[in-house]
């Protein structure tokens, strides 16, 4: 289904100003700020998955591999006791992750449907066990990042990554940029071809497009952004461990994306906040939060067929 | 590796593979006939193991508890299919993934609610607790051999059921053309309920027989689920024969890898799976 642009615009105008103003009121509550930051980082990850699954129709259960890779790559290429430049390393990490995605995508995209779900899972599990079984990479405990990068551009530094509020704004900016990036991408010529491929691969091929290349490019873009989210996660908590790559990470990201409204991109933010919010709430109310979470997820599938974004759009359509 | 160690690993691998087949056959049957990707299948394995523990504690008889657990699993299967799975036939795989992930949450929560989170164990039934000598110094537990034979027996029964009986004929027909079966006046919804319940029961029975061989812990379902997916995908989704071959392959690869290349043993089955899918993207026995 095609999502309504007006609802997306409303959402952007409500969510981002609120998020921008939030630290003014709650700056003292460091726990809350850092919780929101981590949810935003994950929302960025879910957004990249949402593009891949919802827009390109490439269902993957191995996206968390790139999330973890973002963290491990930083540990591998950055010197241990020296602050590096954040922007330069963002570029490095996204580039290397993109190169990895190019190779893996080349193999994975030969399959489709249920087999693609499984082969992406296979690669992710390989990466998971590679890192969790190796001594050099810290095994199951993972690794610590001792020095956080500095963020100067031409000698001007806007963000101090050790300050939770600064880091919050950096993540908010990243999330906003990613959303804008996908909006532009989807409305571009490239995005329209991708939509056409999702709608009908056969006809798009008949029109003379090399659908494999479009899929591969989408896979590379989404994977690089997934790695960026993992890099931010690692910077926030100062460690990286294999559970970032576990299939359950991919699985819950998929749940959030479906919850938000698959393919709507901004729905990724809705889905992640709804899921994490419910999780947090239920976990504090009851020891058996999983029971209610499970029932809620089941109810969501039965009632909201197009996720929260789809439901919001229905509501708005009725009123206007 | 000398001959006797090789022999033990070979039997271990085959026995593990047969157990995997028991679980994976239900998964592949449900996918093949109903087109449902049931992520909660591993939870049924977990439920089976916990039920076995519970009834062994209360009745003292392993055989009796196995039968009660299988019946309860059948009932769970029917109820879940009638209330939840039935809504999903016309939906895409993603909705199925979401719904069955929700079911995993519910089953995990019920498990910790009813039985707690401590690891539990079931004693090997007394009649099967001895060991047979393999060589002068090595012996092999009878219970494991019993499990292997039981799995083979179930596989044979399934083979006959699918190829020789009326129900099996309907299952095969439902696999190839749902509408046509409906047109012939068969209530396909009833068939689906039966198939789903059988799938659930197979997973639960696997959980029951695995209970005395491994400790019963929360999360055991998810771990086995992923391994079974590997089996089902290598064999070709929906193919029981493929699941059988793939289960033995995965069992052997996993067992021998942990002896020969311990540092990458956990990766090995995924490497094999990726390799097979790259050569045969639809699995070994795809229709």
Residues of A in contact with B263 (CB under 8 A): 133-134
Residue B234: pLDDT over 60: yes
% of chain A at pLDDT higher than 90: 44
Interface test mutation site (partner A, options B46, B99, B238, max chain A beta carbons within 10 A): B99
**Torsion from C-alpha of B214, B218, B221, B227, nearest 10 degrees:** -70
Confidence class of residue A235 from pLDDT cuts 50, 70 and 90? very high
Distance from CA of B190 to the nearest CA of A (A): 21
B237, A122: Cβ pair inside 8 Å?
A: no
Query: Minimal Cα distance from B278: which residue of A?
Result: A107
**Torsion from C-alpha of A24, A25, A29, A35, nearest 10 degrees:** -80
Average confidence (pLDDT) over A85-100: 93
A312-to-A175, A299, B178 alpha-carbon distances in Å:
21, 17, 36
Residue B56: pLDDT over 50: yes
Query: Minimal Cα distance from B283: which residue of A?
Result: A115
Which two three-digit tokens encode residue B244? 């059988």
- Determine the topology of domain B3-279 in CATH: ABC transporter involved in vitamin B12 uptake, BtuC (1.10.3470)
Residue A2: pLDDT over 80: no
Confidence class of residue B253 from pLDDT cuts 50, 70 and 90? very high
Selecting from A132, A134, A291 the residue whose C-beta is nearest the C-beta of B110 gives A291
> CB of A103 within 8 A of CB of A163?
no
Which two three-digit tokens encode residue A28? 């003292």
Q: ∠ CA(B166), CA(B172), CA(B173), 5° rounding? A: 85
Residues of A in contact with B94 (CB under 8 A): 53, 59, 254, 258, 262
Rounded to whole angstroms, the Cα distance separating B11 from B185 reads: 47
* Phi, then psi, of B140 in degrees rounded to 5: -130, 130
- Model confidence pTM above 0.90: no
Of residues B24 and B126, more confidently modeled: B24
Range name among A155-159, A199-203, B144-148 with the lowest pLDDT average: A155-159
Which two three-digit tokens encode residue B50? 């916990």
Residues of B in contact with A263 (CB under 8 A): none
pLDDT value of residue A159: 76
The count of other CB atoms within 10 Å of the CB of residue A11 is: 18
Helix (H) or strand (E) holding B132, with range, is strand B131-133
* Phi, then psi, of B215 in degrees rounded to 5: -80, 150
Average confidence (pLDDT) over A150-167: 80
- Average pLDDT of chain B is 87
**Torsion from C-alpha of B192, B194, B196, B201, nearest 10 degrees:** -170
Residues of B in contact with A126 (CB under 8 A): 267, 270-271, 274
Distance from CA of B94 to the nearest CA of A (A): 8
Average confidence (pLDDT) over A282-288: 84
Query: Minimal Cα distance from B86: which residue of A?
Result: A302
Selecting from A118, A251, A289 the residue whose C-beta is nearest the C-beta of B101 gives A251
A135-172: b (≥16 Cβ within 10 Å) or e = eebbeeebbebeebbebeeeeeeebebeebbbbbbbbb
Which two three-digit tokens encode residue A52? 């891949």
Which two three-digit tokens encode residue A293? 């979470």
Residue B72: pLDDT over 80: yes
Q: Which residues pair with B63 in a beta bridge?
A: none
A294, B103: Cβ pair inside 8 Å?
A: yes
Which are the contacts of A233, defined by CB distance < 8 A and separation ≥ 6? A38, A41, A42, A67, A70, A71, A244
% of chain A at pLDDT higher than 70: 98
Tens of pLDDT, residues A236-257:
998 898 999 988 899 889 889 9
pLDDT value of residue B193: 92
B117-to-A88, A294, B50, B82, B193 alpha-carbon distances in Å:
46, 18, 11, 30, 32
Residues of A with CB under 8 A from a CB of B: 53, 59, 107, 110-111, 113-115, 117-119, 121-123, 125-126, 129-130, 132-134, 247-248, 251, 254-255, 258-259, 262, 287-298, 300-302, 305
Selecting from B102, B107, B264 the residue whose C-beta is nearest the C-beta of A297 gives B102
Rounded to whole angstroms, the Cα distance separating B217 from B42 reads: 13
Residue A1: pLDDT over 50: no
Residue A144: pLDDT over 90: no
Confidence class of residue B24 from pLDDT cuts 50, 70 and 90? very high
Residue A119: pLDDT over 90: no
Residues of B with CB under 8 A from a CB of A: 37, 84, 87-88, 93-95, 97-99, 101-110, 112-113, 222, 226, 229-230, 233, 237, 263-264, 266-267, 270-271, 273-274, 277-278, 281-283
Q: Which of B23, B25, B22, B30 is nearest to B196 (CA)?
A: B30
Confidence class of residue B42 from pLDDT cuts 50, 70 and 90? very high
> CB of A262 within 8 A of CB of A277?
no
Confidence class of residue A4 from pLDDT cuts 50, 70 and 90? low
Which two three-digit tokens encode residue B268? 């090995």
A110, B237: Cβ pair inside 8 Å?
A: no
pLDDT value of residue A308: 84
Domain count along chain A? 1
Three-class secondary structure of residue B131 per DSSP: strand
B264-274: b (≥16 Cβ within 10 Å) or e = bbbbbbbbbbb
Rounded to whole angstroms, the Cα distance separating A270 from A190 reads: 26
Tens of pLDDT, residues B172-189:
888 888 888 888 888 888
Which two three-digit tokens encode residue A34? 């850092």
Residue B137: pLDDT over 80: no
Distance from CA of A134 to the nearest CA of B (A): 8
Average confidence (pLDDT) over A205-227: 95
Tens of pLDDT, residues A166-192:
899 999 999 999 999 999 999 999 999
pLDDT value of residue B1: 65
Q: Is residue A76 classed exposed, middle or buried when 0-12, 13-18 and 19+ CB atoms within 10 A define those classes? A: middle
Task: Mark out the alpha helices in chain B (DSSP H runs).
Answer: 3-34, 41-59, 62-83, 93-115, 142-164, 166-176, 178-183, 188-210, 220-235, 240-260, 265-279
pLDDT value of residue A3: 59
The count of other CB atoms within 10 Å of the CB of residue A207 is: 11
pLDDT value of residue A320: 56
Q: Reduce the secondary structure of chain A to three states and give it as a string.
A: CCCCHHHHHHHHHHHHHHHHHHHHHHCCCHHHHHHHHHHHHHHHHHHHHHHHHHHCCCCCCCCHHHHHHHHHHHHHHCCCCCCCEHHHHHHHHHHHHHHHHHHHHHHHCCCCHHHHHHHHHHHHHHHHHHHHHCCCCCHHHCEECCCCCECEECCEECCCCCCHHHHHHHHHHHHHHHHHHHHHHHHCHHHHHHHHHHHCHHHHHHCCCCHHHHHHHHHHHHHHHHHHHHHHHHHHHCEECHHHHCHHHHHHHHHHHHHHCCCCCHHHHHHHHHHHHHHHHHHHHCCCHHHHHHHHHHHHHHHCCCHHHHHHHHHHHHHC
Chains A, B: CB contacts within 8 A come to 122
> CB of A257 within 8 A of CB of A45?
no
Residue B153: pLDDT over 90: yes
Query: Minimal Cα distance from B87: which residue of A?
Result: A302
């Amino acid at each position: 289904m095609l999502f309504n642009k007006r609802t997306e615009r409303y959402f952007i105008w409500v969510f981002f100003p609120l998020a921008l103003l939030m630290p003014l009121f709650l700056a003292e509550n460091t726990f809350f700020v850092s919780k929101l930051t981590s949810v935003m980082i994950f929302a960025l990850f879910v957004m990249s998955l949402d593009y891949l699954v919802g827009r390109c129709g490439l269902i993957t259960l191995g996206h968390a591999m790139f999330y973890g890779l973002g963290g491990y790559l930083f540990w591998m290429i950055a010197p241990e006791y020296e602050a590096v430049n954040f922007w330069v390393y963002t570029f490095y990490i996204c580039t290397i992750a993109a190169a990895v995605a190019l190779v893996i995508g080349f193999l994975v995209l030969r399959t489709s449907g249920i087999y693609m779900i499984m082969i992406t899972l296979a690669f992710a599990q390989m990466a998971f066990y590679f890192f969790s079984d190796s001594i050099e990479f810290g095994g199951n405990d993972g690794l610590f990042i001792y020095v956080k990068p500095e963020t100067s551009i031409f000698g001007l530094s806007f963000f101090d990554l050790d300050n939770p509020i600064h880091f919050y704004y950096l993540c908010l900016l990243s999330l906003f940029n990613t959303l804008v990036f996908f909006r532009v991408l989807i409305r571009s010529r490239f995005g329209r071809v991708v939509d056409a491929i999702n709608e009908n691969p056969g006809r798009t091929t008949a029109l003379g497009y090399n659908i494999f290349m479009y899929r591969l490019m989408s896979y590379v873009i989404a994977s690089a952004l997934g790695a960026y989210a993992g890099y931010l996660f690692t910077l926030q908590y100062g460690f990286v461990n294999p559970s970032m790559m576990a299939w359950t990470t991919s699985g819950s990201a998929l749940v959030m994306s479906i919850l938000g409204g698959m393919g709507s991109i901004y729905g990724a933010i809705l889905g992640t906040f709804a899921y994490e919010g419910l999780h947090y709430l239920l976990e504090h109310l009851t020891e058996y939060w999983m029971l209610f979470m499970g029932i809620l997820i089941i109810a969501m599938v039965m009632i909201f067929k197009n996720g929260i974004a789809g439901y919001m759009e229905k509501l708005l359509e009725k009123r206007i | 590796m000398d001959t006797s160690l090789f022999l033990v690993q070979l039997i271990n691998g085959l026995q593990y593979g047969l157990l995997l087949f028991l679980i994976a056959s239900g998964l592949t049957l449900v996918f093949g006939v109903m087109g449902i990707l049931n992520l909660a299948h591993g939870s049924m394995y977990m439920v089976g193991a916990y039920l076995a523990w519970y009834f062994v504690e209360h009745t003292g008889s392993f055989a009796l508890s196995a039968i009660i657990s299988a019946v309860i699993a059948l009932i769970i299967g029917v109820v879940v299919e009638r209330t939840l799975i039935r809504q999903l036939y016309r939906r895409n795989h993603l909705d199925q993934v979401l719904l069955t992930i929700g079911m995993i949450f519910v089953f995990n929560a019920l498990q910790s609610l009813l039985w707690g989170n401590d690891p539990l164990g079931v004693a090997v039934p007394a009649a099967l607790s001895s060991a047979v000598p393999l060589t002068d110094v090595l012996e092999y537990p009878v219970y494991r051999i019993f499990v292997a034979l039981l799995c083979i027996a179930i596989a044979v029964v399934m083979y006959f059921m699918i190829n020789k009986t009326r129900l099996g004929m309907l299952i095969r027909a439902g696999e190839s053309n749902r509408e046509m079966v409906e047109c012939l006046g068969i209530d396909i919804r009833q068939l689906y309920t039966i198939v789903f319940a059988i799938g659930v029961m197979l997973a639960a029975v696997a959980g029951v027989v695995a209970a005395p061989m491994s400790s019963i812990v929360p999360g055991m379902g998810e771990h086995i689920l992923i391994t079974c997916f590997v089996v089902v995908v290598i064999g070709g989704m929906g193919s029981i024969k493929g699941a059988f071959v793939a289960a033995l392959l995965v069992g052997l690869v996993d067992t021998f890898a942990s002896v020969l290349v311990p540092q990458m043993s956990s990766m090995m089955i995924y490497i094999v799976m990726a390799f097979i899918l790259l050569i045969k993207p639809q699995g070994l026995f795809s229709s």
